[in-house]
């Protein structure tokens, strides 16, 4: 009987590990939101609120999203900048993230001006 209990416990353990591994891989494969990508890739320079008020943002003279200069940029111009990069200090993200995510990031970024 003791042997069967150990076998059953081992089988249950294997199933639990397999189940958790499957859920972990599904979670990793879940698509990222524009907000999460922005916070991960953009906020180090542009700030969580779009102000550019970060150490790196101040060093690079990143414009506040709410400034007249930034407000003049159209959505298409911003999308082009995020996709292709700007100067030597901002890499383009189109190859890494794809054109749809780039558009979503710009939409999210522009929404910060309304907050």
| 92 and 40 both lie in a single domain | yes
Model's pTM, two decimal places? 0.71
Range of the domain at 12: 1-30
pLDDT digits (tens, 9 = 90+) for 65-101: 999 999 999 999 999 999 999 999 999 999 999 999 9
Query: Within this chain, do residues 43 and 16 fall inside the same structural domain, yes or no?
Result: no
Tell me what pLDDT residue 20 has.
61
- CA angle, 71 as apex, 65 and 73 as ends, to 5°? 105
d(CA 26, CA 22): 6
Answer yes or no: do 16 and 6 share one domain: yes
Tell me how many domains the chain contains: 2
Please state, for a pLDDT cut of 70, what percent of the chain lies above it: 73
Q: Is there a single domain that holds both residue 89 and residue 59? A: yes
- In this prediction, residues 33-47 reach a mean pLDDT of 96
């Amino acid at each position: 009987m003791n042997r069967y209990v150990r076998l059953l416990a081992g089988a249950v353990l294997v199933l639990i590990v397999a189940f958790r591994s499957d859920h972990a891989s599904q979670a990793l494969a879940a698509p990222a939101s524009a907000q999460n990508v922005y916070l991960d890739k953009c906020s180090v320079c542009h700030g969580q609120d779009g102000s550019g008020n970060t150490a790196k943002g101040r060093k690079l003279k990143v414009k506040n999203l709410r400034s007249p200069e930034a407000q003049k940029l159209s959505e298409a111009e911003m999308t082009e900048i995020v996709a292709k990069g700007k100067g030597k200090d901002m890499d383009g993200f189109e190859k890494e993230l794809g054109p749809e995510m780039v558009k979503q990031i710009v939409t999210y970024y522009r929404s910060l001006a309304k907050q």
